[in-house]
Structure 1
């Protein structure tokens, strides 16, 4: 990846994280595009070059994470079992980037409460659904490349992508409730899926 493309990705990540952080802290209606741009150290015009609005900026974090996961999945060792490769690829995307580590860690309870309110905003729900559809296409293509299947005509890569993304969604919700380690939750969720979701023994 060239320097220009890396800078664009860094700016996009900084804007998305600024949108999430400010909306969690203040509420959706109390945050302006100008606030987000200022927080990320860019102009509102730059924000508009990347996103069509606040909701899209929030949802892009999920989309970018899953697109990176698809790229990472393609790079995993060819002989690695599929669900192990998906697990490693997904966990890797939850390593906090500089846009996150540059800020103090928020209070977990206040952060969780703000996240829940944020995801109740209809505009963010709609943008997240659109992002999830795009993410599913990217993951299905990566699964198809690993398994020799074609997402355009085979159900398998699409089913795997849908299952993986559903697991990621459940993991995020459980994480917000329990604050368990994200690596542990991802591993557990994908192991259950790869085992065929057998009923609990207890």
Structure 2
């Protein structure tokens, strides 16, 4: 029985992943208007009803792959030494993990562009980032002995990599830099850790 349940769960996860990948590919190749329950389902050779059983919207389907891959980022953070400072853990995990989560630069540029013109996709993107920030806050709370439901500190610190990822991804996707995504993340963590100089008053003359 346990084996049968495990097999069913693996099949469900595989179907969900295939539907999300199909939705993502259709958006990249043909635009978001091409992403419908019918077209996605046909690509995976299932019924539109199956699509709707897994996803409440095309936007959720498009971004679900990123959500699932983000869980590996969170687990990598959780696996860092318990006595390691949180900033060190973020610096170790985020630069490489973000590439695995987001994937190809050209595809992400399409996502950024389409999201800017599509409020529903932008809203879903913000929901995804909020979900990842919550998971990171839970890990930080575990490592610091805080209560994620009662203490603000884990949420404040988790918001830092969340904001960092949003800013870096948009900057990187615009294509005006030759720096790699991991290098941009490393530089951003260093700047945030050291304190950004922007906004400081100029010295008196």
TM-score bin, normalised by smaller chain:
0.7 to 0.9
Q: Is the 8 A contact 1:171 1:185 kept in 2?
A: yes
Unaligned runs of 5+ in 1: none
By how many angstroms is 1:163 displaced? 0.9
Paired residue total: 190
Does residue 158 (structure 1) correspond to residue 163 (structure 2)? The answer is no
By how many angstroms is 1:5 displaced? 4.6
Unaligned runs of 5+ in 2: 1-5, 200-205
Bigger shift: residues 37-46 or 113-122: 37-46
Bigger shift: residues 184-193 or 159-168: 184-193
Please state whether the residue corresponding to 2:174 is helix, strand or coil.
helix
Identify which of structures 1 and 2 has the higher relative contact order when contacts are C-alpha pairs closer than 8 Å and 6+ apart: 1
Show CA shifts across 1:76-97 (max 9, x none).
Answer: 1223331221233332253279
Residue 129 of structure 1 is matched in structure 2 by 126
Q: Is the 8 A contact 2:98 2:182 kept in 1?
A: no
Residue 183 of structure 1 is matched in structure 2 by 182
**TM-score normalized with structure 1 length:** 0.78
RMSD: 2.9
Residue 113 of structure 2 is matched in structure 1 by 117
Does residue 20 (structure 1) correspond to residue 24 (structure 2)? The answer is yes
Q: 2: distance between equivalents of 1:22 and 1:177?
A: 21
Which has the higher Rg, Structure 1 or Structure 2? 2
By how many angstroms is 1:135 displaced? 2.2
By how many angstroms is 1:140 displaced? 0.5
Would the alpha carbon gap of residues 77 and 177 (structure 1) be closer, same or farther in structure 2, given more than 3 Å must change?
Answer: same
